[in-house]
Amino acid sequence: MVEHKADQKQGGSIFDISKLQKQPNLPTEFVWPEEDLPDPNPEELDAPLIDLSGLVRGDEKAILIAAEQVRRACVNHGFFQIINHGVDASLIQAAHQEMDAVFKLPFDKKLSISQKPGSLAGYSGAHSHRFPSNLPWKELYSFLYSHDKSSEEAEVVNYFKSVLGEDHESMGRVYQKFCEEMKKVSEMILELLAISLGLEDRLHYKKYFEDAKSLMRVNSYPPCKNAELALGTGPHCDPTSITILHQDQVGGLEVFYDNKWQSVRPRPDAFVINIGDTFMALSNGKYRSCMHRAVVNTETERRSLVFFVSPKEDKVVRPPQDLVCGEDQQRKYPDFTWSDLMQYTQKHHRVDGDTLKCFVDYLMSSN
């Protein structure tokens, strides 16, 4: 029998993973279909390691080399890793350590800070407030960050203080600083993406996202005795634009490429970057949003930090004219807003490998 508590505000059940992992057998809600189960010895994905130091110092030759590496990765599977990104190692370490303040809270306190219907911010245990089966073996905590300079300077700090209490101000400051650094990293990536696509204005995407509202998420994947039957995150493409991930040394990220699941090696000094559905539309389909997942470990907890970059909610998602001006470069996707796609994934569609295609079909039928 699965132990759970109902939270009437959520309209569903939230599972206490800390208790579930002590049960001898994996509850059926967490057992995935056989075709989705992990391979114990996956191949390693050829995800290029890209040095950003040339972009930082304005070395045009190094920038063009990095842009070509980005292009090759993005036309194939959309995944690459970056080093010399300028984010201090001590800040990354602190961001990993501060997760304890959420994931070690009493269960009742976690319930009180849970995601509300339609909201992306808050705590979630296995997304069980949204889905009845194929549940991910993880806990997560999410919060929003505004790129707009006119936004509140201590936005994240104030959020943590208001939701978790005044005694979590220092935690809020760590994540405020981390988000500010992720914004800087995203701007470098967006510039490289524009160069790699041959845009006349290499700052096109950087300007497009200058008023972005991104989602920061911390993930905990507890040990699972039946890890061979479970997944930490199911197969999906990110509906957002670009994802910046830092995974600990336990590893577990896998990408479906060349008809097989391939692992992404963890590196303490690197961030993993991947293209999401929204950027695939912004590139007019030239760059791929690739299906990926996270597997869990039998004995060791896995943790990750994820920064999902998205446009402002009401901004029209449309590729630059450079990518649609030729006879062989017709528009592949209709205009939509990030709010349209986000609401679709919240109300109508559980994100998977076909989210963008299904969303476009939904838009066309609605029109």
**The two structure tokens encoding residue 319:** 């590729």
Q: What sections of 34-134 are H helices per DSSP? A: 53-57, 60-76, 89-97, 100-103, 107-112
Taking Cα atoms as reference points, which of 160, 135, 175 lies closest to residue 13? Answer: 135
CA distances from 129 to 10, 14, 118, 132 (A): 6, 6, 11, 8
Strand 302-309 to 213-221 pairing: antiparallel
Which are the contacts of 353, defined by CB distance < 8 A and separation ≥ 6? 235, 236, 237, 256, 291
Nearest 5°: the CA angle 126, 132, 138 is 10
Separation between Cα atoms, residue 137 and residue 143, nearest integer Å: 20
Residue numbers annotated as active site: 302
- Please identify which residue in the block is written with the tokens 């994931």: 103
Residue-level length of the chain: 367
* Helix (H) or strand (E) run with residue 277 in it: helix 277-282
Separation between Cα atoms, residue 270 and residue 82, nearest integer Å: 5
Residue 6 CA neighbour count, 13 Å, CB half: 3
Which are the contacts of 180, defined by CB distance < 8 A and separation ≥ 6? none
- Do 53 and 173 form a contact (C-beta atoms < 8 A)? no
- Please identify which residue in the block is written with the tokens 């980005």: 70
Separation between Cα atoms, residue 98 and residue 172, nearest integer Å: 9
